Chains A and B, each alone.
Chain A
Amino acid sequence: MRSSVFLLCVLGLSLTQIQFSRADLVKQTCRQTPNYHLCVQTLRSDPRSSHADVAGLAMVMVDMIKAKSIATLHRISELLGTAPHPKTKATLRRCAELYDNAVLKADIPSAMEALKTGNPKFAEQGANDAANEADSCERAFSGASPITSFNRSVSNLSRVASAIIRLLL
């Protein structure tokens, strides 16, 4: 009885040790990105991070870029439905095109495939491109952007992803 309790304790301790080392990988990786907090927060919010290697962490981050981009597109269509000023409308439309055609249809799939198959430079390109598109969209509003937090989010996540991917090169 005592020996099994002992074994259970040892097992429990070992498991926490493994968890601790994985948490270390998340921290270690995030320290090498431009936004430690965002990186740790994002990775921790996904259960896959606890048993992922660096490439896996990059994939989690890319998935989050995808999720935020979809959310941005939703927000854009909401705003378009409120009959905005024509100039804002045109810019919103341009942004929708960027997020849909560039980020979601091109950058994300390209980055994911590159990470999966071990050709990280194309993933880095995809992440950089996503940040570029988000920045482009924000810039196009000339200071009067109604979706700043969305664009910033995608941009920041992309930059973090790019930094993580750089670790694979």
Chain B
Amino acid sequence: MADPNPARTFADPEDPIIAATVPDHYTPLLDVDPPAGENSRLPLKGFLVILSGLVLVGLLMALIGENGPSVSQDSQQNDLTLNAPAESTNISAQFLEPASRGPSAGVSEKSFRLHSGVRAPFPWSNTMLTWQRTGYHFQPEKNWMNDPNGPMFYGGWYHFFYQYNPDAAVWGNIVWGHAVSKDLIEWLHLPLAMVADQWYDTNGVWTGSATLLSDGQVIMLYTGATNESVQVQNLAYPADLSDPLLVDWVKYPGNPVLVPPPGIDDKDFRDPTTAWYWPDGKWRIAIGSKVNKTGISLVYNTEDFKKYELIEGVLHAVPGTGMWECVDLYPVSLKEDNGLDTSFNGPGVKHVLKASLDDDKNDYYAIGTYSLESGNWTPDNPNLDVGIGLRYDYGKFYASKTFYDQNKQRRILWGWIGETDGESADIKKGWASVQSIPRTVVFDKKTGTNILQWPVAEIKSLRKSSKKFDKLEVGPGSVVTLEVEKATQMDITAEFEIDKEALKRIGESDVEYSCRTSGGSAQRGELGPFGLLLLADEGRCEQTPVYFYVAKGTDGQLKTFFCTDESRSSLANDVDKRIFGSTVPVIKGEKLSMRILVDHSIIESFAQGGRTCITSRVYPTKAIYGAAQLYVFNNATSASITASIQTWAMKSAYIRPYSSHQES
């Protein structure tokens, strides 16, 4: 199970000395050298004397009211010691390194990047940058993209909209891009669906969702940032329903249809969901927000999508989680393997509630019950509530959104995968962000506590030359080359068995393992790590291991961890190189299995059929084009593993502007 979010601590803002040296609730760029620990080395008496002196000074200052504390940070700017980032922190990732545990913990300093925070710029060549572009993931031809919007199946086409900046490779000037596909893999770019041409969305045509009505109408609700930067909800619909490509869109003249209600800040009201039908004959939608630090989801009902009524209370709230963006609520079947229409409810169904947490840029979900009587959603396990429990993905994955694909009766998930390289590289290469390969979402019947995500079956149409490596014995501390055609575009499935004797022998560990704080694939245990080395060059100076690590926890139970280790993914130091992952539940009798999609600078990994997923962005400088290779490795100290691996080279997907499309 995922580690819960670390408790957020608040520095005392009143005491200037403490405020200056103790990190606040955010993971700061803060210089904490000397760390707070140094104070504790002072004799207690001396400390008290200093403290009373400070109190006196503080009182004086309060009287005068003009001066700040005399502690200066200027002299320490060059040598920043940084705190370890919180488990799920992504935002300041470009600055923060995991704090090195030092040689005494068996960690060589070389395995971590600079902990001074100053990142040496890498001389990126055009060859290296060009390589980074994906072969089969959705991305526009250039510039910045973020959230998926309004995904749906209509008129025989899968429609996909997205947040797009037509002017630059950074966020800004946001409008709706649009593309269509027959199979969720090959895409045709269409003209922008909506631009910022009304007072109610002039500062941004932001995220929204589609609702398909039984009479054939298509309702699109989206957030607009008004001319006064108030976040409002607007209604739009296709100009011509007989056009299956839905190229042109009309905004309802009566917009906005929703403005922030009393008690909700103008800037905490966005991302309306797909609507679901309620027994009272009306439709309901949810909109994420926050009250202080409590993340909430508001619910509205409507009959015509033009007039709305705020339903008293909230759909759900979780303290300490901050702003809820891109809320999503949908049913999953407990028995069947197909997806369910968003309005479905009743016995044999549970509802997944999901929020994107603004605070830490991760997507969290929880499984629970949505009561038709009370209109409340309650989690099955309050300890794994929204924002404090499971994540869709333990890597780079945000602002995700599902839709019901009535064409194939599937619930499909889209996720925005941003860049984790230096932003000047994004500007140089002229683009930023890709989308995940769409994933089907089903309830995991075996555990009852997870959902399973899996790349849509249509991805297999890109598979070409296949290679099988059956029952490879990989002894402890060894690496085996897997000869493959094109290591930069691959679909890989792998199964691993640990030798039974080693499993019996393993002793208990007194330290709980965690992917994030571990030494990655270089940290050896009795039963791991073992897995695959992706995008590795021949000398393995660059490599991205995706692996399992099995350990006996402090409770005597075997626990399996699934991690992606970016720490040696690139020789460049101006890219993020983190170690991500989580525990993955393994049912008795199951082999350890993973599936990996490698596509240049993106790696999507799935463990145990999609119970735990990790998306990673990597930017190698050497392990690119023909120099990239694939290995299987076992870095355990005592256990042998048997690996059965199948690989496919992947063709690139046809993703082009519609105008260049030849087919009639």
Residue B609 is within 8 A (CB to CB) of chain A in the complex: no
* Pairwise interchain contact A23-B65, C-beta atoms closer than 8 A: yes
B13 proximity list for chain A (CB < 8 A):
28, 31-32
Binary interface profile of B, 479-510, with partner A (CB < 8 Å = 1, else 0)?
A: 00000000000000000000000000000000
Partner of A36, one of B71, B206, B358: B71
Q: Is residue A38 contacting chain B, with contact meaning CB distance below 8 A?
A: yes
Q: A136 vs B424: C-alpha distance in the bound complex, in angstroms?
A: 10
Chain B, range 170-191, C-beta contacts under 8 Å to A: 170-173
Complex CA distance for A110 and B423, rounded to whole angstroms:
12
Closest beta carbon of chain A to B91's beta carbon, Å: 6
**What A residues does B574 contact at CB under 8 A?**
132, 136
In-complex Cβ contact of A30 among B68, B92, B168, B322 (8 A): B68
> B74 at the A/B interface (Cβ < 8 Å)?
yes
The answer, yes or no, to whether A75 is at the interface (CB within 8 Å) is no
Q: Which residues of chain B come closer than 8 Å to A31, judged between CB atoms? A: 13, 16, 19-20
- A36 and B30 form a contact (CB under 8 A): no
Tell me how far the C-beta of B207 lies from the nearest C-beta in chain A, rounded to whole angstroms: 10
A89 part of interface (Cβ distance < 8 Å): no
Known A32-B24, A36-B68, A139-B119: A106·B266 in contact at CB below 8 Å: no
Closest to A123 in B: B171
**Is A35 in contact with B119, judged by CB distance below 8 angstroms?**
no
Within A108-126, the residues touching B (CB, 8 Å) are 109-110, 113-114, 116-122, 124-126
Chain A residues with Cβ under 8 A from B225's Cβ?
117-119
**What A residues does B121 contact at CB under 8 A?**
94, 136-137, 139-140
Judged by a CB distance under 8 angstroms, whether A51 is at the interface is no
B interface: dominant SS: loop
* Partner of A34 from B30, B168, B268, B427 at Cβ < 8 Å: B30
B 150-177 binary contact with A (CB < 8 Å = 1; else 0): 0000000000000000001111110000
What chain A residues lie within 8 Å of B171 (beta carbons)?
110, 113-114, 119, 122, 125-126
Closest CB in chain B relative to A57 CB, distance in Å: 15
Residue in B121, B203, B225, B358 whose Cβ sees the most chain A Cβ within 10 Å: B121
The number of residues on chain B lying at the interface, defined by a beta carbon within 8 Å of a beta carbon of chain A, is: 55
User: Which bucket holds chain A's interface residue count?
Assistant: 35 or more
Stretch of A3-11, A61-69, A76-84, A154-162 with 4 or more beta carbons under 8 angstroms from chain B: A154-162
Residue interface mask A18-57, B partner, CB < 8 A = 1: 0010010001101110111110100000000000000100
Q: What's the minimum C-beta distance from B322 to chain A, rounded to whole angstroms?
A: 6
Nearest A residue to B11, CB-CB: A32
Residue B94 at the A interface, CB < 8 A?
yes
> Quick one: closest A residue to B204, CB to CB?
A117
Q: In the complex, are the beta carbons of B91 and A121 less than 8 A apart?
A: yes
Quick check: A169 and B358 within 8 Å, CB to CB? Answer: yes
Chain A nearest Cβ from B54, distance in angstroms? 14
* B244 interface contact, C-beta 8 A: no
Most buried by B among A37, A106, A155, A162: A106
Asked if A131 meets B29 with Cβ closer than 8 Å, knowing A110-B171, A136-B574, A162-B92, the reply is yes
Q: What are the residues of chain B within 8 A of A159 when measuring CB–CB? A: 29
- CB-CB under 8 A from B203, the residues of chain A are 113, 116-117
Find out whether the CB atom of A98 lies under 8 angstroms from the CB atom of B68.
no
A-facing residues in B120-173 (Cβ within 8 Å): 120-121, 168-173
B77 lies within 8 A of chain A by Cβ: yes
| Bound complex: CA A23 to CA B423 (Å) | 35
Asked if B323 and A169 make an inter-chain contact with CB atoms under 8 angstroms apart, the answer reads yes
The answer to whether A136 touches B119 (Cβ under 8 A) is yes
Q: Which residues of A contact B204 (CB under 8 A)?
A: 113, 117, 119
- Determine if A118 and B168 form an interchain contact, defined as CB atoms under 8 angstroms apart: no
- A135 and B423 CA atoms in complex are apart in Å by 13
Instruction: Provide the residues of chain B in CB contact with A35, threshold 8 Å.
Output: 73-74, 77
For the complex, what is the distance from the CA of A11 to the CA of B156, rounded to whole Å? 69
- Tell me if B306 is interfacial: C-beta within 8 Å of chain A: no
CB of A136, distance to nearest CB on chain B (Å): 4
Q: Is the CB of A102 within 8 A of B28?
A: no
Q: Report the bound CA distance from A82 to B333 in whole Å.
A: 72
Q: With an 8 A cutoff between CB atoms, is A93 at the interface?
A: no
Q: Say whether B26 faces chain A, with CB atoms less than 8 Å apart.
A: yes
Whether B73 pairs with A36 at a CB distance below 8 angstroms is: yes
Q: Which of B11, B71, B73 has the most CB of A within 10 A?
A: B73
Q: Which of B60-116 contact A (CB under 8 A)?
A: 65-66, 68-69, 71-74, 77, 91-92, 94-95
A-chain residues with CB within 8 Å of residue B423 when the two chains form the complex: 102, 106-107, 125, 129, 132-133
Q: Is the CB of B168 within 8 A of A106?
A: yes
* A163 at the binding interface (Cβ < 8 Å): yes
- A114–B172 Cα distance when bound, in Å, is 8
Contacting residues, chain A, for B95 (C-beta < 8 A): 128, 131-132
Known: A116-B229, A166-B26. 4 other contacts (CB 8 A): A119-B225, A126-B171, A129-B424, A138-B118
Q: Which residues of chain A have a CB within 8 Å of any CB of chain B?
A: 20, 23, 27-28, 30-32, 34-38, 40, 55, 94, 98, 101-102, 105-107, 109-110, 113-114, 116-122, 124-126, 128-129, 131-133, 135-140, 152, 155-156, 159, 162-163, 166-167, 169
7 pairs from A and B in contact (CB 8 Å cutoff)? A34-B29, A36-B16, A36-B69, A107-B170, A129-B424, A132-B94, A136-B121
Closest 4 CB pairs of A and B: A118-B267, A129-B423, A117-B225, A136-B121
